[in-house]
Structure 1
């Protein structure tokens, strides 16, 4: 679980930055009063912080898991925007792939919660 937000966060700040800007809806820039690049950078920083929290705070992994899941929900409108506008990005260059990405997002939310649940005490 830790590697996914770390890799995605690094991508937001470097090689994938341009592609991630495509997913930012225009309304988000108006609501947040900033540009798409700043939103991409901020989301990358948040992902890196979440990955760091998963590593540094093992006793809080359930809470951090909820935060990761909430982050995945928060960025979902960007996935919907990309699907609705038909804008291509790396690995998301067809309508089918963009649609499948929406379902993957749901799986990521479930995975974040499942993989960070505390072990049962007996």
Structure 2
């Protein structure tokens, strides 16, 4: 039950963030797109918002597919991490992160999101079982 609650809570968080990407926080999210990234910042924000909405809905609705959705969500959090690093390195303000310390502290939350996605969906458990099976064959 705790994992189910965790997956649904993560799903709701992703839905909220995704909708915010498309509406009220669109400009704020652009602060996280690295200046070196080759696509238009607004396009990146809109696309990542759609991905977050899709992941959030999938975590809530597709209970039987939670492991692959959890893996995808964890991968997504890893993929967007360079944007958070860029925001720190370039000292770009956004979401009230207007000090180096605030931007640095935020970096520590991304691994928490990865672990949350893997744990709450059972993906962590599935990965460990797959590794054990692989080690027995070797």
Q: Residue 61 of structure 1 is aligned with which of 57, 66, 74? A: 66
Among 71, 74, 95, the alignment partner of 2:79 is: 74
Which of 43, 47, 51 does residue 42 from structure 1 map onto? 47
For residues 1-122 of structure 1, the aligned pairs below 5 Å read 1-28=10-37, 30=38, 34-117=39-122
The count of aligned residue pairs is 115
Mapped to 1, the partners of 2:66 and 2:96 lie a distance apart of 30
3-state DSSP of counterpart to 1:75: helix
5+ residue gaps, structure 2, are: 1-9, 126-138
CA RMSD of aligned residues (A): 1.4
- Please give the TM-score of this superposition, normalised by the length of structure 1: 0.89
Point out 4+ residue stretches in structure 1 off by more than 6 angstroms: none
